[in-house]
Each structure stands twice: as structure tokens, then as C-alpha cells.
Amino acid sequence: MSNLLMSGKENVLHIGLVQSNIFWHQAERNRQHLSEILNTLPSATHLVVLPEMFSTGFSMDVHNIAENAHNSPTLQWMQAQAKEKQFAICGSCCIFEPQDQTYRNRLWFVFPDGKYEYYDKRHLFSIAGEHHFYAAGTTQKIVRFRQWRIALNICYDLRFPVWSRLSPNFSYDLLLYVANWPQKRITAWNKLLAARAIENQAYVVGVNRVGTDANEIIYTGNSAAYDYIGEELVQMSAQDSVQTSVANIEIAQNSLQYFRHHFPVTADADNFSLLQ
């Protein structure tokens, strides 16, 4: 049993879900817009979650939107926001990696001191040709923040439960998904987020965008959070909306660990090895 559970101390994480409308290929405009939104968040916010490719929209035009991994204006903006407001912030953007000359759909997780870690999207959406432009990530990622273990994922990863399966070698408290998930498949989004929470006995947060992109794809948000038994904590409905909105939630680590301890279903889980 963990020290936290034995002590009875509750470790609460306050999360801001920012469901934004994204201006197509206008990174500076998106960053400025989000700067204004972040100024409205409660001072107690610990973590801010932004959508997938929040600075440009989900695009295959990598030559026009990619930022150098070693000099990314979007990463620098995230670092400035995190330091100024003393929260962690995460979201993905298109990155050019000089080391191997590839483009990556990269999720940055920036800590309040400006340090950062990242996750590269594993499952590329081949239906839209994403695999022709981006290199797939090969490594699962857990970051540790305020004694929370947070697993990072991007959009299409949600459809592949083995990748995010809780195990002794991949153990976390909170599963995060940032997305550009279209309206026409939003039913799957809602159900899969809840399923990931139930099967892994973990909190799950999914942040999606709103609005219509340059390809006439409509996004209605439906950003959501679920607790470790699959109960909905928040559902941000934005049908026909183009307005950026925010939801604030808090999640409790002690409650999660208590439930896992008294209903340890993972003890009966199948063993498997994930081939890279």
C-alpha cells in the first residue's frame, strides 16, 4: 500500500481543460488567443491541457507549419506561460526533428519551472495520410508531477487500448489525450475515454478542439474527464459552437489508490509484451 494511502493525506490535482477553436495555420494568433484564455484560469490551477496541434490545427502541410524541435516558438510560449502562472501545461504541435530529419506530432509537457518532457504520437491516422508526413513515436511516456504519474497520448492513440494498458511496467494515475477528433466520430470519443478509465482504473482526461478547419471538418469539442470507475466528471458539449471554453476539475489521488487497493482487478490481468 502506498505511503499516501496509508497516511490518509489527499493529493488533489486541479486541471484546466481548454477546448479551443484553432485558427488554421496561424500559430502566433493561436498563441495570443490562448494567452488571453489562460489569464482567466483560477489561480489554484495546477495543470492546463490544450488540444492536439493547438497552434495550427491538424494539418499535413508540415513544410509550412513545422517548428524546429530545438527552437520551437510554441514550446517557448508554453514555457513562458508555465513560469508566469506557475502551472504545468501540455498540448501538441508539429515539430521538425533535425537529429533524424523527421516531422513529429509532439506533445510537450512543460513544468512550472520551464523544464519539459515530450511524447511523440504513436498511432498515426493513416486514413488521412498522417503516416506519409509524420514519423511515429516508439516510446510510451509517463511524466511525474506533484506526485502524480501522468501518461501522455494523442488523439488516434485512444483507439488502441494495448498502448495505454496499465501494467507493472507502465503504471500511472492519470491518462491524458489531446485531440482534433471530428464531430462525425464523436460517439466513439466519448465511449472510448470512459472505457480507458474503467479498464485501467485511472482518471482519464481528453481535450478536443471546436470549430471548422480549412478542410471543412467540423469539431464540436466534447472534451471530457472520467474517474477511475468510469463516472463522468465533466463533459464540455459545444455543438455548433466556435467559442473557446474552459472547464476546471479536480481529481483526488488518495481516492484512486483506495479504490485500486480494495478492488485490485489488475492482479488478474493478462501478461503481454508490447512489440516496438
pLDDT at 239: 58
Pairing of strands 174-178, 102-110: unpaired
Residue 157 and residue 177 in contact, taking contact as beta carbons nearer than 8 Å = yes
Which domains, ranges and CATH numbers included, belong to the chain? 3-268 (3.60.110.10)
Q: Which three cell numbers stand for residue 272?
A: 503481454
Q: State how far the Cα of 48 lies from the Cα of 112, in Å rounded to an integer.
A: 11
52 is catalytic: yes
Residue 186 and residue 220 in contact, taking contact as beta carbons nearer than 8 Å = yes
Per-residue pLDDT of the chain (276 residues), as tens digits, is 444 444 457 899 999 999 999 999 999 999 999 999 999 999 999 999 999 999 999 999 999 999 999 999 999 999 999 999 999 999 999 999 999 999 999 999 999 999 999 999 999 999 999 999 999 999 999 999 999 999 999 999 999 999 999 999 999 999 999 999 999 999 999 999 999 999 999 999 999 999 999 999 999 999 999 999 999 999 997 655 789 999 999 999 999 999 999 999 988 988 877 765
pLDDT at 267: 87
Selected catalytic residue, list 90, 93, 94, 155? 155
Residues 6+ apart with CB under 8 A from 249: 14, 15, 17, 205, 225, 233, 234
Cβ atoms < 10 Å from Cβ of 8: 8
Q: State how far the Cα of 96 lies from the Cα of 93, in Å rounded to an integer.
A: 10
- Closest C-alpha to 167, from 144, 205, 201, 122: 201
- Closest C-alpha to 194, from 149, 245, 158: 158
Question: Cα–Cα–Cα angle for 256, 2, 255, nearest 5°?
Answer: 20
121 is catalytic: yes
Whole-model pTM: value is 0.95
pLDDT at 101: 97
Selected catalytic residue, list 67, 93, 94, 121? 121
Selected catalytic residue, list 52, 94, 130, 141? 52
